[in-house]
A = this chain, B = another copy of it.
C-alpha cells in the first residue's frame, strides 16, 4: 500500500501519516520524487487501513500495491529511475557500455584494458578484485590490491569503476574504491549482503541470481531499496536451463518484462551468460535492440592467458570491432550511445 500526498502538503502532514502507520506496527518508507511525495506502507496491512489513511491531512490518495515488491514497482514510482555514476546516467536515453577484465590481474593488464575500452566507447570500467569461484582452488582475486589498481586505472582514464563485493563486512572498504558495487549472481539472495548495501549511498549493480524468477530478483532489489538505497541497476546475466551448449541461457525477454514491472534501470551481461567470446557480439546487439539501458562486457588483453573466464573475454580488437555495430543498433532504437565516437 502506498500513500500519495497532495501537492502543497506540509512536513507536519507527512509526520502525521508516518506516525499513524507506525502506530499499527508497520513501517513507513518516504520517497520524495520530482512529481510527488509518496509513503510506502511496509508489512502486513489490513482492509480498514486504506480508509483510515485516506482521511489524514495531506493525503491525495491511497493505492494498494498488488506486487510483493513495493518500492521497486512501477505502481510505486511510474517514472524511470536514473542512476548517476559520475557523469554517466543509467536508465534514460543513454546507452551505457561497461567493460573491462573479469578479474584484475596486474597493473599493466587493468590499465591497458581501461584505455582500450575507453577508446572503443565504454564509459564505465568493470573489474573484479574479489571473485566468487565455484572451486576453492581457483584464483579468488587480488583483493584490496586489486581495488587499488582499479583506482589507479580510474585516475588514468577518468572511467568510474564497478566492482564486486562479497561479504557484508567488506562493504565499507569496497565503497572507498568503487563507484558502483556489484552483487554477483551467487550472492543474489545473500540477504545480509543486500541489507548491507542497502545502508550505503552508492549505486549497486544487482545481478540476477542464475535461478531467480523475475519476482525474486525484484524482491532482492527491494531489500536494497527498503534499506534506503534507491540507486539500483538490475543486470540480466543468464539463467540456468537444461541447455549446456552455452554456459547459461541469456533471458533477453527479462529486459522488457523488468522495464514493465519496475522503474529501475536494467542492463545485460552477454559475457557471463554465454561463456563464449564468439557469442558476445550478437548477444550484445540483441540486448541493445531489446531495450537494455546498457551492457557490461568482459575484455582482456590476452584472453587465453586470463586467470578467470578467459573463454568469454573479448580481445581489444573484437571489442573495437563490435562498438560501431552497438552504435548503429542503439541509434535504431532511439538510444544515445554517448561514448562511442567511432
Asked whether A157 is an interface residue with its Cβ less than 8 Å from the other chain, the reply is no
Chain B neighbourhood of A42, CB < 8 A: 136-137
One digit per residue, 1 when the CB lies within 8 angstroms of any chain B CB and 0 when it does not, for chain A 231-254 equals 000000001111111100111110
A312–B49 alpha-carbon span in the complex (Å): 31
A321 lies within 8 A of chain B by Cβ: no
From B166, B220, B252, B329, A332 is in contact (CB under 8 Å) with: B329
Tell me if A286 is interfacial: C-beta within 8 Å of chain B: yes
A274 nearest in chain B by CB position: B253
Contact B210 A252 (CB under 8 A): no
- A63 interfacial contact with B, CB 8 Å: no
With a cutoff of 8 Å between Cβ atoms, the chain B residues found around residue A288 in the complex are 289
> Which residues of chain B come closer than 8 Å to A239, judged between CB atoms?
241-243, 249
The residues of B that contact A216 with a CB separation of less than 8 Å are 134
Say yes or no: B283 contacts A253, CB within 8 Å: yes
Q: Contact mask A190-211 → B, CB, 8 Å, 1/0?
A: 1111000000000000000011
Q: Residues of A with Cβ closer than 8 Å to B?
A: 42-44, 68-70, 132-137, 140, 166-169, 186-187, 189-193, 210-211, 213-216, 219-220, 222-223, 226, 239-246, 249-253, 255-257, 260, 273-274, 278-279, 282-283, 285-291, 325, 328-329, 331-333
| Chain A to chain B: the 6 pairs with minimum beta-carbon distance, closest first | A211-B211, A289-B289, A186-B189, A328-B332, A286-B290, A286-B286
